Amino acid sequence: MNEIHLKTKLTTRERVSAYFGIALVGGLLALWIGKNLIPQCLLACLLYYCLTGRRPQILWATAHTFNRDILAARRFIHMSVLLKYWESKNHSVASLFRRNVEKHPNKSAFLIEDKKITFQEIEDLSNKVANYFKSKGYEKEDTIALLMETRLEYSSMWLGLSKIGVITALINTNLRKETLIHSIRVASSKAIIVSVELLDALIEIVSDDEIEKMNIFIFDTEREEVKAINNKTLNLHHELKSATSTPVNVDGTLAKDKLFYIYTSGTTGMPKAAVITNLRFQFMVSGTFMMFGMKSEEVIYNTLPLYHTAGGMLGVGLVLIFGVTMALRKKFSASNFWSDCIKYKCTSAQYIGELCRFLLLTPSKVEETKHNVRFMFGNGLRPQVWPQFVQRFKIEEIGEVYGATESNANLANFYNHQGSVGFVPQIASFLYPVDLIRCDEDTGEPLRNKDGRCMKCEPGEPGVFIGKINPRHAARSFTGYADKSASEKKVIRDVYRQGDSWFNSGDILVMDLFGYFYFKDRTGDTFRWRGENVASTEVEGIVMKVAQLTDCVVYGVDVPENEGKAGMAAIVDPENKLDLVALAAGIKDNLPQYARPVFLRIMPELPMTGTFKLKKRDLQLEGFDITKIRDPIYLLQSDGSYRKLTQEKYEEIKNGLAKLERLSHRSVLKRRGSDSTVSSSVAHDIAKQNDLGNDDNLSPSTSSTPMDCKNPAFILSDKNTGVTKKLQYILGRPWCWGLMFLIMIILTFINTVFFVLSARQSIIQRRSDWGAHPMQGELEPLNLPTSNIIITQTDDAESCFTIQECRERVRHLQETYQNNERQNMTDIPYNYLIGDDGYVYEGRGFQYQGEIPINPSATSFNELGLIIAFIGNYANTDLSLTQVNVFNTFIDRLINSEVLMKRHKIFSNHQLVFIDEIPQGLLNFLEGREDEFYELQKVSNRGWWSARDSLNTSTSIRFNGPAERIVARKVTITPLDCRHDDECIERLQNQQAFDMDDNSRSDIAYNFLIGEHGVFEGRGWDVRPEGLFVDSESITVGIFSEHLGDGPMYQKYVSLYRDGVVLGKIKEDEDNNNIECSVELCPP
């Protein structure tokens, strides 16, 4: 088996050559500069900078990868410029596809079997889909589930829906029952399009309450009459015949609009719906096309399912956006793969790593080298398989892509570098900020230093792969999942500095000196046995080597009364040819004792998802339970052999009566300061076999590099050489002291300049940027720093997604509030506004109080804190991840600027003005910030109980600051019952009539009233109470009860008091002496 080796440091000779090269370049520059003192000093500083730290080896590596990096830079810049242009023009996938239709309408877009569909036919069909569903009342942001096998019409379905802004949920065709119901529900689907071949799967779940109510469109090209599975069933193919193919105006579909949902594979639980926007689609597809140097004349063979990223986005996207032709196959067939490539005259093909192994397992035949496929691209091609695959099938280039569906941390290996999933030049890593950070080897959680920051990995040191999130950049945005809580779990915050956010891939990768990345493991694929870490992919590589590429998967299983998880290997042997004796001997020779699989399971095939990913979770749950598993299970013996697990032995293990063989301390290779892993032993053996000395610069990669994420043994430190000692001697001479001092000053200046140049772009659009009108009066100043944030929404139909659109929206809001006689405001009421374009818009700024639209009691909370409005209406939709990230960044800046206190609270204005419900999107956002969100006692406002208008128009009866205390008194009317809506409304109206009509008061006497059914607004917080026995300096609460006691009504009363203190409406008293109760309610 071919081993992949990582270069992680320079040899002595290479280090000397690096120093010599830097010195040579410096000397030539010094000769060119001549006797000019200042340039010579600057050159000396630059040389010192280049000769210290890791910079010599970075420059050495850059020199060796110069051609690669220039090619990468050219392609990346081309891609970035094109994406920026598309974004500026707000191009959607539909509008880009239309340009290809105009170029070559009659060109074949998709081929399958003996059928084809041209670009013009896709355009016509997608227009029919758009016009038909628009006529049925579906509109932007609605979701329709698509359950359809691979066929020519597949892409036309979601493309047509996207033209009217409808989001398509691409459902995995292998899902059944609960997982199918979950996938349809999680996307909030309003209808289902299902092909007739998959109708049975839908019939199984049609009894579900939500599914039963949906419109079901069956796509059946053979019959006009279809089986009605509910009363809303239609034959979509028949319906589309009468639909018009008139082109649909796609200008309303924006680049950042959601295009469709793609589901994760569900290897470890229920599928999650990843959000794919038009811009995200364009980035993924253009990255594939341009970074791999593809051409529009390509004919690509694609056997992957169209409901997932590889086949349905990277593959289909190349057709729709760049005009290539694609040959499809409904299901992968290893025996027909190369004959299909010949039939369709394919020049490229897509793969998933497992497919390559399947192809290698097929018997050799003539067709496998008679094809014209020069290039294959995909992901998951293992290093053990790579060289044999390209050699046997004569493939000139392999393009390996790395990245999850939803990930912003993507890599591409277009340089045909064996085993690597991609690269980022070290000297240009700031242009594409992805990184490896150290992690806990047990949990996969990032490790942090004493300052709470994550720590970067050195070359050769495995770590978690992360990508910096930038919502304003197509390549670095993270649109997340339909489930916002699932999105938040993938984000790591405060990685290198306060407020930054990075996407957590959950994958362990390792990088070499040249910037190449290699896949190691999933963070969850490492298990612990006998106090040692075992990396499953390491063991799989050894088993595959010994079993001669037989498919296998390794995982940990729980064993009663044993620490950790025992290793178990599931091996595919459909023809019963596996030699267990040879396998046991090979495992014993190549793996330390603790890493050897304790159990073997021999299977005819492995369980896989529809995208050919191994379903480890299912195997782990089944474990070694021979009462449920029909496959033979073998148990590791003390001599290293395997014997079939008997019922008697199984019962002993299950009941904890049999301890598995203990680990001999002599068999473990210990390393000071950390535990070793399976890889350390393999690395040691390889080093011995190759007679590598201690000064060698190679450490084994994918199948032999340790998984230990924090092991200091893998941070390879350089030893001092004669060259470095001489350099230290020269630099330490007395005549150098002045020069050194000067160098330090200049370096400090240079670093400061670089810091300023690399400072974050402002996320704030000032008033002048959006064309604000002057304020029409004086504004009240806001006391700073404030301890409160009040969030609200602008109630627009939707948010804004471009800077131009947001500027116009904010300007319109200001004009509305200034010119509206009812509002009569001096300016826009908000301090700041946040759109979905990644910017914060300055309203009144932080110096002045904002204005909350007041309720009938005219309670004022303007002085409470900063008012931040999210542009849009969030009654039925969540805030976008862009808005949340911008809000987090802005809050951090307010804290750093001492405008906002670090310990602050966040309110919704809907709470403050006693509107019954906070919009669901804002409520979800607030509940996710439980440390900041202060949930006020729910109060039903005056409008709820139809209160009469107050007769008082004077400000003289308002409090001149916080009230002295809060007092509870029994209301003056009878009866006192207030147990449901109608009863409470009647009591409240009677009390107001008693106070206003019978006692000539200006309004109901009490500030608030409390009954069994809830808390009700009277005069509110700001207006003094009125009546006999009422203290006008107190907030007075009327109680619909004879006695207050300590039950639910008392708890509501206490909550109201606490809210008053927090809101600054009642003076704070540490001993709570300012909460009182009248004698008749609370007898001594």
Read off the tokens for 1011.
């009954």
Question: Residue 342 pLDDT more than 90?
Answer: yes
Residue 566 has a pLDDT of 87
Query: What pLDDT, on a 0 to 100 scale, did the predictor assign at position 3?
Result: 53
CATH hierarchy code of domain 965-1077: 3.40.80.10
Fold agreement (764-935, 965-1077): yes
pLDDT digits (tens, 9 = 90+) for 26-45: 888 888 887 777 888 888 88
pLDDT tops 50 at residue 158: yes
Instruction: Say what the pLDDT of residue 742 is.
Output: 58
Per-residue confidence band for 350, with pLDDT thresholds at 50, 70 and 90? very high
Is residue 515 pLDDT above 80, yes or no? Answer: yes
Position 670 scores a pLDDT of 32
Q: What is the DSSP letter of 579?
A: -
Which residues, 6 or more positions from 181, have their beta carbon under 8 angstroms from its beta carbon? 205, 208, 210, 211
The whole-number average pLDDT for the span 240-266 is 86
Q: What's the mean per-residue pLDDT of the chain?
A: 81
CA gap 872, 835 in Å, rounded: 8
Q: What are residue 502's DSSP bridge partners?
A: 468, 492
Lowest mean pLDDT among 216-225, 282-291, 522-531, 703-712: 703-712
User: What pLDDT is recorded for position 612?
Assistant: 63
Across the range 1061-1078, mean pLDDT stands at 82
Mean pLDDT value across residues 840-860:
75
Radius of gyration of the chain (CA): 35
| Predicted pLDDT at 127 | 95
**10 Å Cβ neighbour count for 1073?**
8
Over residues 570-577, the mean pLDDT reads 87
Q: Which architecture characterizes domain 764-935 according to CATH?
A: 3-Layer(aba) Sandwich (3.40)
Higher pLDDT, 984 or 933: 984
The contacts of residue 1082 (CB under 8 Å, 6+ apart) are 968, 1043, 1044
What integer is the mean pLDDT of 739-746?
Answer: 58
pLDDT band for position 724 (cuts 50, 70, 90): very low
Lowest mean pLDDT among 333-337, 603-607, 819-823: 819-823
| Nearest-10 crossing angle of helices 722-731, 12-33 | 40
pLDDT class of 746 with cuts at 50, 70, 90 = low
Q: What is the pLDDT of residue 167?
A: 95
Instruction: Name the 3-class secondary structure at 952.
Output: coil
- In angstroms, rounded to a whole number, what is the distance separating the alpha carbons of residues 59 and 37? 26
CA 118 – CA 103 distance, rounded (Å) = 12
Count the neighbouring beta carbons within 10 Å of the beta carbon of residue 551: 22
Note the pLDDT tens digit of each residue in 1027-1048: 766 677 889 999 998 888 778 8
CA angle 425, 703, 424 (to 5 degrees): 10
Identify the pLDDT of residue 678.
35
The whole-angstrom separation of Cα 528 and Cα 509 is 19
Total count of residues recorded for the chain: 1084
Residue type, 554: V
pLDDT range class, residue 702, cuts 50, 70, 90: very low
What is the C-alpha to C-alpha distance for residues 385 and 62, in angstroms, rounded to an integer? 29
Mean pLDDT score, 166-194: 89
pLDDT greater than 60 at residue 679: no
pLDDT reading at 906 higher than 50: yes
- Using 50, 70 and 90 to split pLDDT, how confident is the model at 550? low
Q: What is the mean pLDDT of residues 403-424?
A: 85
Separation CA 547–CA 571 (nearest Å): 9
Whole-number pLDDT of residue 281:
92
Instruction: Give residue 552's pLDDT.
Output: 85
The rounded percent of the chain whose pLDDT value lies above 90 is: 28
Q: Could you tell me which residue, 274 or 728, shows the higher pLDDT?
A: 274
- Superfamily classification of domain 530-668: ANL, C-terminal domain (3.30.300.30)
Of 58-72, 254-268, 399-413, which range is least confident?
254-268
Residue 771 pairs in a beta bridge with: none
pLDDT tens string 1047-1064 = 888 888 888 998 888 888
Mean pLDDT across 526-537: 67
**Would you identify the CATH topology of the domain 79-136+143-331?**
Rossmann fold (3.40.50)
Give the start-to-end residue ranges of the domains of the chain: 10-64+721-759, 79-136+143-331, 422-521, 530-668, 764-935, 965-1077
In tens, the pLDDT along 307-333 reads 988 899 999 999 999 999 999 999 888
**Mean of pLDDT values over 570-581:** 87
What are the tens digits of pLDDT across the range 99-148?
Answer: 999 999 999 999 999 999 999 999 999 999 999 999 999 999 999 999 99
Q: Residue 665: is its pLDDT beyond 50?
A: no
Residue 151 per-residue DSSP state: -
Classified by CATH at the fold level, domain 422-521 comes out as Luciferase; domain 3 (2.30.38)
pLDDT confidence of residue 578 = 86
Q: Which two tokens stand for residue 342?
A: 């010949």
At 434, list the tokens.
């992805």
Q: Considering the chain, what percentage of its residues have pLDDT values greater than 70?
A: 83
User: What pLDDT band is residue 717 in, cutting at 50, 70 and 90?
Assistant: very low
Mean pLDDT, rounded, for 525-542: 70
At residue 328, the pLDDT reads: 95
pLDDT digits (tens, 9 = 90+) for 874-903: 888 888 888 988 999 899 889 988 899 888
- Identify the bridge partners of residue 601 per DSSP, sorted by sequence position: 570, 633
Q: Which amino acid would we find at residue 443?
A: T
The pLDDT score that the predictor gives to residue 261 is 93
Q: How confident is the model at residue 662 (pLDDT cuts 50, 70, 90)?
A: very low
* pLDDT tens readout for residues 637-651: 888 889 999 988 888
Give the CA distances from residue 376 to residues 294, 297, 399, 652, 675, in Å, rounded to whole numbers and listed in that order.
11, 15, 6, 51, 40
